Structure formats: C-alpha cells, structure tokens
Amino acid sequence: MHTLALDQIYSKYPRQYSSLRSEMAQAFDIAIRRARLRGHGDRLAEIGIRDGRIKAIAERLDGKGATEIDACGNLVTESFVNPHLHLCKVWTLPMMEEEALKAYQSMDRAMAGIELASKIKEKYAESWIVENARRAVALAALYGNLHIRAFADIDSKARLEGVKALIRIREEFRGIVDIQVVAFAQDGIVREPSATELMHQAMGLGADVVGGIPWIEFTSADAAAHVRSCFDLAQEFNKDVSMLLDDASDPDLRTLEMMAVETIRRGYHGRALAHHCRAMSLYPMPYVQRLARLLAAEVPHGHVDPGVGEIPVSRNCSRRMSWSASARMTFPMRITPTAATTCWKSPSSPRTCCG
C-alpha cells in the first residue's frame, strides 16, 4: 500500500487506521527470523506462518508474529516426507537373527531376508508395537519428518496386531505427524490363504492405503492376481495403492508392468505408488524402452528406496532409471505447506529389517 493512500486513510479514518496498523503489526501466528533457505546461499530470510500455512517469505516480514522464533542462521525447510516406513517393525532387530538384516542387503537374497524377518511376527502384539512406533514417530516429528506412509504387515502370523497399533499411533499424532497406515500383504495374497480376508478386515478397521508385494508370489499368474486383488480392495474402500515391486536380482520380474497396466484399466492415475523396482536395472534395453512408454502414460508414481541393498550398475543404468528421477517421482499424499522445520542434525535411524 502506497504512503499517499495510507495518509488519505489516516486523515479520513484515524481510528480505523490505527486498528489496521495494529492488525498488520500482528500479521502472523508464527514469525521465523534469521532463517537459512535452500538455494539462497548465506542470505537469511524471515518466514511468516498463519492458520497453519506459510503466508510470506521475505528478507524482512511486514508484521510481527504472536510467536517469534530465531532460527539463528540454521536451515529451515518444508517438512520431510517418508513414503515407505515399516513402522510395525521398528526396533525389532534384537528379536531376530542378524542374518535377516544381512540377507536383505543383497538383491540376490531379498526373499530370504523377508522370510527370516517374518519369524518375529509370531510374537506380534499391539501393545509393544505401539510403544516402538510411538518412539519412532516422536523422533520423526523432532527431526522434521511430518508425513509418513507407514506399512503394517497383514498375514496369518501378524494377524491385525500391526495395523491396529499403527491406527492408534496415527490418531495419537494427528495434527503433529500426518500418518497414512498401509495394510500390507507382506507374505503374499495368493500363497497366503487368510490374507484376503485379513486385508479386508484391516481396511474395515480404518487403514488408509492398500499395500501389496506381488513379486513374492510363486508364479506370474499369481502375481497378476495379487495386483488385481489389491486394486479390487482399494476400489471397494476408495483408497490409494502402494506396492513393493520387482525387488530381487531377477530380470524376468514384471510386476511393475502389471501394476502400471492395472492403474490404467482402473483409472487410478495419481493414486498408485510403486516402490523399490530394483530389478529394472537388469532389464534388457528393448523392454526398458517399452516399459518407459507405458510409464509415461501418467501411471504409477515411482519411489526408489536407495538404502536397502545395491542396484547393479551398468552403462545404461541411469537411462533405465530416468523415469523415477523425473517429475513423476512424487508422493501422492495430499500435503499442504504447513509448519516449517528447523533442521539441526540427523537422528540415528531405528534399526529394522523390512520388505
């Protein structure tokens, strides 16, 4: 507003002007001062937050905050998103053999790692899963990870203990950390006779996402049936889909293609998330090119987890993985620019062996 216009308002409405100036001086619920932003070098900025949203970023805010925070020149960034956390398994390594963790670090032994880790599910209980998950989510919030897609195993061993625990944690942290609970058929659907009914029960309890792992089935036909079953359940409850795909050193795995095709058939664009997909680095180039054309049709969003074993490097590896490094590599949670988080240092990760 120009100075002349302000003078005219003051001359005609001095009382209202004083009130306006007071409102402008208290424009924000939170004002963060001396914040370092990504890509801005050593230049510091100020951030104004109102009604839970970032309203202004400037060298100097035109207004004060009801709460003033001095970032002391530290980095301030939007909250982090973790689209793949096996939250029912955090801090469970002491309950299993170290061999399970070693096995999962190799693509060649991914299946063995999953099977070794599954032994602890016979001891699953909502009570201790809640305690471990609460600790992990509290740490996540402390270090700025405010959006989590959390997987809970659903099978004859885990039963519904994990999903019930994570739903409790979701509600406990509501308004602090946005948690999406995934009902995850870790041990398969076709090869696990009780999985279909347990998955349906989990969605009925209030799970947010249908989770699958079709490559774990015994045959390609069973893997395709697994994919269809997940989409059937997602459509019944109007929920999104997350699937762990092709996570072993087998160039014949094709569940990413199965999920992409099913996404198109169901009109599930923007609601399907593909995880892992590490076998893509082993595919022959003609198939990669055909798969890339399919993925370009706005089908599953991609999420590659780089910390769980190697992806064999080849001359064409970067070209093969380019689809997941593009703008398509996004996370379909409905996220608004809420609280900014000052990042001081990285926490120690809770040790877990996951699928």
Mean pLDDT of 90-108: 66
Question: For residues 183-212, b (16+ Cβ closer than 10 Å) or e, as one string?
Answer: bbbbbbbbebeebbebbbbbbeeebbbbbb
Instruction: Return the CATH number of the domain spanning residue range 3-77.
Output: 2.30.40
Domain 80-336 fold: TIM Barrel (3.20.20)
Which segments of the chain belong to CATH 2.30.40?
3-77
Which segments of the chain belong to CATH 3.20.20.140?
80-336
With tokens 């390594």, the residue in question is 93
What pTM did the predictor assign? Answer: 0.73
pLDDT interval class at 104 (50, 70, 90):
low
pLDDT interval class at 86 (50, 70, 90):
very high
Distance CA 104, CA 117 (A): 9
104 or 122: whose pLDDT is higher? 122
Structure tokens belonging to residue 342? 């000052």
Mean pLDDT of 234-249: 94
Percent over 90 (pLDDT), the chain = 52
Residue-averaged pLDDT of the chain: 79
pLDDT by residue (tens digit) across 135-192? 999 999 999 999 999 999 999 999 999 999 999 999 999 999 999 999 999 999 999 9
Cα four-point dihedral sign 154, 157, 160, 161: negative
pLDDT at 20: 47
Mean pLDDT of 128-136: 96
